Amino acid sequence: MPSASGASHSFADKSCINRLQKEYRALLRDPVPDIIAHPCEKSILEWHYVLKGSPESPYEGGVYHGKVVFPSEYPYKPPAIYVLTPNGRFATSTRLCLSMSDFHPETWNPMWSVASILNGLRSFMYEEAPTAGSITASTAERRRLAAKSLRHNVANATFR
């Protein structure tokens, strides 16, 4: 886990760092089903996650990499959320407009945790509601992208 004393945290306030470290320990003890997440070594403000596509869904067999970028004022301000793997639901490398993202600070609740953010992202993945950053693709296209997802991720140095 990135240390609280590292230079990479110089722009985050201590309460933000402490909260993210606490949430990381909680995720290690009680992981979110089908999602692995951890902070980057260089900055606790940037987390990477991998979401496994649910069986019997268009995403079955898919492995979706993304990142959550926390502001230094977290938990009082919401994070930016990105999906980096082509998936047919969200545009890649684009900030997602979700109720728990920085697109909607007015709906943000400081009691939400990294786990609740990841659970929310997973729920949005399986919905069809249009939002900024969402795209439309057929079930067949989503299945095709799921089949290619791991190969795509392995080619990305950040994923490895």
Q: Which residues are catalytic?
A: 97
Contact 39, 18 (CB under 8 A): no
Contact 76, 110 (CB under 8 A): yes
CA distances from 61 to 55, 107, 113, 142, 146 (A): 7, 33, 27, 11, 6
Side chain identity at residue 43, one-letter code: S
Contact 152, 86 (CB under 8 A): yes
